[in-house]
Amino acid sequence: GGYGSSGFYGAFRENATDFQKSFVTYFTDFLSMVKKQDCPLDFFSWHIYTDDTSEIVKSALFVRETLDNNGFNHTESHLNEWNYGAEGGGFDKMDTLYGAAFIASALIAMQSIPVDAAQYYCASYEARYNGLMNIRTLKYSPVMHVMNAFAKLYENGNELSVRRKEDEPFILASADETTVRGLISCYRCEKKEFVLKASDDCEVYRLKESGFEAITIRNENGSIRLPCHNDEVYYVTLKIV
């Protein structure tokens, strides 16, 4: 596999630098070399650091399309470095509630784009890129709690279809024989609130610095109204009768 490309911002950013655009050229030249030398390419790896979830989607589509167009239809796409990364201030928010909302939105978005594997960077002790813990207090950050919630959805084993409009929160749901679980990220959502259709036994947890905390909800004829701010993340459970 090769070669750990440092992002494809040059493929879609209007203000992309010549340096960023060079990553695209290097990618296509690399594929030409692999084809010419008849080398195996089991997977292609690439990275992205951004505060815009849509850039992960655009990058994944670009990588898949470029691989396919060059005859590498069976080569897997591995996003083997990704994290929150705002220009000039990524480390300041990486382990915050806002950063956790981005991580949740990215995890949800990646379930429906052509990425075969994705590795969060990183979990090294005291590394600045480690958003899983606050390196000043050595306590788990909200990002870790998002990862834990996502793991619970994964363990359910069956992803559920979710209909979502572009201006609505990112939503992922799964189920096993007894429980439906949901993860909701309001990252950069313009709505002040959103309506969740659910039965009376639905339990809702809001992400706080210390983890997900149960909140009191009012179910009005099968509808639950929840605040939707930039840094709101919810974990939802519902028992199957």
Size (the chain), residues = 241
Q: What pLDDT, on the 0 to 100 scale, is given for residue 15?
A: 93
Structure confidence at residue 153 (pLDDT): 98
Distance between CA 144 and CA 111 in Å, rounded?
A: 19
Distances in whole angstroms, Cα of residue 19 to Cα of each of 8, 10, 23, 24, 27: 11, 8, 7, 10, 13
What pLDDT does residue 217 have?
85
Is pLDDT larger for residue 86 or for residue 168? 168
> What pLDDT shows up at residue 166?
82
Average pLDDT over all residues of the chain = 93
Question: pLDDT by residue (tens digit) across 170-188?
Answer: 999 999 999 999 999 999 9
Nearest to 43 by CA among 110, 117, 107: 117
69, 73, 1: which is closest to 34 by C-alpha? 1
DSSP code per residue over 36-96: HTT---SEEEEEEEES-HHHHHHHHHHHHHHHHHTT-TT-EEEEEEEEE--TTTHHHHTTS
Q: What percent of the chain has pLDDT over 90?
A: 79
**pLDDT confidence of residue 100:** 97
Top pLDDT among 42 and 222 is at 42
Query: CA of 159: how far to CAs of 11, 152, 195, in Å?
Result: 31, 12, 21
Question: Distance between CA atoms of 50 and 83, rounded to whole angstroms?
Answer: 7
Q: With 0.85 as the threshold, say if the pTM is over it.
A: yes
The yes-or-no verdict on residue 240 having pLDDT over 90 is no
> pLDDT of 116-162, one tens digit each?
999 999 999 888 899 999 877 889 999 999 999 999 999 999 999 99
- Tell me the pLDDT tens digit for each residue of 91-102: 889 999 999 999
59 to each of 10, 20, 42, 87, 99, how far by Cα in Å? 10, 13, 19, 17, 20
| Pick from 82, 104, 223: nearest CA to 169 | 104
pLDDT tens digits along 11-37: 999 999 999 999 999 999 999 999 999
* 182 within 8 A of 153, measured Cβ to Cβ: yes
Q: Is the pLDDT of residue 104 over 80?
A: yes
Mean pLDDT in residue range 194-203? 88
For residues 144 and 214, give the distance between their C-alpha atoms in angstroms, rounded to a whole number: 17
Q: In this model, does residue 89 exceed pLDDT 80?
A: no
Contact 66, 28 (CB under 8 A): yes
Q: Answer whether residue 209 shows pLDDT above 80.
A: yes
pLDDT band (50, 70, 90) for residue 107: very high
**4: its two tokens:** 């750990």
